[in-house]
Amino acid sequence: MEPIAPRGPGADDEEYSGGSYGLAEETSLNYLLRREQDGFKLSPQEKETKRRLIDEKMEADPNRCPACDGKWGRDAVVCVACGFNLETGKRLKTVVEKPKAQPTGHGGGEAGDALETAGKIAEIIIDILGSG
């Protein structure tokens, strides 16, 4: 018996019937957008369903993003809340950049080092005056 290979990005589209793993038509816009974002190719039926769902949501409320229901600015093309692009019908891929680590101290550099040293000196003086 041959093992069944998982279907993923780049798999042959001719044998793929679409929907939720070929079982039924998917009617969740978020599910279709997530599959596409994860690198899976949508079947022609899924693409048609996605377009229909987007159109229905935009017709129902043109001031809301069809993907996340966030407020949609006038003449907006991309939702700032979820990254959905109305022209392409896809979510933008986002990259989170972490800020560079700040040096320890009160401001970094020579000024921060001087301030830290002054604080230590003040603590020593208080300890001396307090014990005498």
The pLDDT of residue 51 is 93
The pLDDT of residue 20 is 46
Low-confidence ranges of the chain (pLDDT < 50): 1, 3-20, 23, 105-106
- Is the whole model's pTM more than 0.75, yes or no? no
Rounded mean pLDDT of the chain?
A: 76
DSSP conformation letters of the chain: -PPPPPP-TT--STT---TTTTSS----HHHHHHHHHTTPPPPHHHHHHHHHHHHHHHHH-TTB-TTT--B--TT-SB-TTT-EETTTTEEPP----PPPPPPSSSSSHHHHHHHHHHHHHHHHHHHHHHH-
